[in-house]
Structure 1
């Protein structure tokens, strides 16, 4: 997807709770295996203490709107993405966030695409903005809280440990002077047949967690791997990373060796997974180095790519005219690559 007119990222924010769960304590208390903790490479994970996921999203949203100088009343669209329970049944967290920040004239939309939800929300928001004339603004939020007993942040998945957090990104079309980043392109692809990895042999349940008292992606993945082995998934993962990176570069009119590309930002997965499944193919594709800014947070569920945007701005990682690529993926499976640029000075 290439926006028809430049889309400005007016602001991006991450809200992290104060609590932390250290890997050292988790190993000592036998909540994670020592080898698994080493492979993950996260010294600690952020842990919410009392804040619900939607409440965290409100805090991130207020921070981003304040930084971008955008009033909530001026938002045309609010997309909220999540992967884990949001605190109420048959209820819309997107509408709650809009209510709490005072975005009473916006259209709130909920996005559930598991870990790629933040990227999907950004893509849908940009597409919606492009359909309307004049200046339009949208807010994308993500939030997840991975608390027990329903979720084990260290052991519910292979290759990822989950941190509690919320993110918010303010989009402006057309871009305005002072926007720290421009979204040049966002390319997404999917392999729907891999949905079985998170379903396994389980029957369709009548109620949440009927099949298992805790979210256990390891269990369903083991069923898939017994049937298919790991190689088919590895090949699809390699192919899809290639597909979204080359597609995003093409949409942004960029060559893979363009010296303006300063880095390729990895999703916030475990260190061993990134080294074995992501870095080799990316080093073949793009001349720029890969970077990993997720050591201190772990995987943020739907929030990895939006959190990456926030880090690009916070670190002033791009000089005017320079470009960054941000990668993401999620169960389903779906992969995305965003191309952002720091605007040149007039």
Structure 2
């Protein structure tokens, strides 16, 4: 979907203190051989801070940087992967209450690790559907420290890190323009994240620990894991090509790639392959390996990092890549128009 007047007006992130993989290995939480093979350096650990409170902190930074008043926000979208608080509760309205307030719609998107980009697409459609709408506030946050998740062992090749991110999308203007965003699904692979677990009663109500490695190992879909991985790679690479072609761009026109944080170097290499020989330099692995896989906040926190550290300049284009359970994929292009001043400046 090509866009003409949707802008990124402000970004925010909440990144708690890190625990190094060396500390985790010494404590017996993380396998030493895996640590050496995968290259994760540390993960962000929020302790007892609830995910929605992290989202509020990131949202306040994004709002301050955006120069938008609370009344400019027409919709709030909160994105999550893991539990946010009590079941049958509404974290999006908690975030709304403690940020811009008012009576605007507040929605939650559960699109797995692809959620933030899905929210950007939905927010763009919402804003452009009516001429009287100005801006959207998107937040995402997860705290993986609950008793049913082992952040060091729960997912193949990855470590879960606690990070929140936020973005103000605006039709009034901003430091960057959202050029386009596209999404596709592979529903035939939904079993990869389900494995042999029953749908009812839900595992979270029976004390079943989250083990995505075991679920993948019990996958009995129509193809083996190697073929499933190949299909996912082909699908995401095709989406990258389609997104570039729609925007009238070539791979060399992309300055940086804000991708999902994965520890498997082969997966990362295949992910960045469409961007040429210098693809590794375009990625954000140096940042990602220091915070862990954050769920839905990988791409948005990476973009915040690139912007806040001055790693991108006016005229640069950043591609955002998302992949989540489902299987779902999203791809977006952001064009940097200006280097934003620090929040509160």
TM-score, normalising length: structure 2: 0.91
- CA 1:253/1:226 → structure 2, altered by over 3 Å: closer, same or farther? closer
RMSD, aligned α-carbons: 2.0
The Cα offsets for residues 49-69 of structure 1, whole Å up to 9 and x where unpaired, read as 231001111111111101111
Question: Against the structure 1 CA distance between its residues 139 and 238, is the aligned structure 2 distance closer, same or farther, given a 3 Å change threshold?
Answer: same
1:323 aligns with 2:323: no
Corresponding position of 2:250:
255
- How does 1:228-267 map onto structure 2 within 5 Å? 228-258=223-253, 261-267=254-260
- In the alignment, the residues of structure 1 paired with residue 268 and residue 236 of structure 2 have an alpha-carbon distance, to the nearest angstrom, of 8
- Cα distance in 2 for residues equivalent to 1:251 and 1:286: 19
- Conserved? CA contact 1:75–1:103, under 8 Å: no
Q: Is the 8 A contact 2:195 2:220 kept in 1?
A: no
State the Cα distance separating 1:210 from its structure 2 match. Answer: 5.1
Q: 1:280 aligns with which of 270, 274, 297?
A: 270
2:180 is aligned with 1:185: yes
CA distance in 2 between partners of 1:218 and 1:143 (Å): 23
Instruction: Confirm or deny that 1:224 pairs with 2:219.
Output: yes
Structure 1 gap segments, 5+ residues each: none
User: Partner residue of 2:94?
Assistant: 96
1:128-277 pair list within 5 angstroms:
128-134=126-132, 136-174=134-172, 176=173, 179-209=174-204, 213-224=208-219, 228-258=223-253, 261-270=254-263, 273=264, 275-277=265-267
Count of residues in Structure 1 that have an aligned counterpart in Structure 2: 335
Q: Is the 8 A contact 2:80 2:109 kept in 1?
A: yes
The CA deviation string for residues 232-260 of structure 1, in whole angstroms up to 9 with x for no partner, is: 112212211212211211221212333xx
C-alpha spacing 1:284/1:109, structure 2 compared with 1 (3 Å):
closer
State the 1:27 CA deviation: 1.3
Q: CA deviation at 1:327?
A: 1.4
Matches of 2:269 and 2:68, distance apart in 1: 37
Distance (Å, rounded) in 1 between the aligned partners of 2:6 and 2:143 = 30
- Deviations along 1:286-319, one digit per CA (max 9) or x if unpaired, are 5662312312101111111211221232123332
Change in Cα spacing, 1:167 to 1:197, as seen in structure 2 (3 Å) is: same
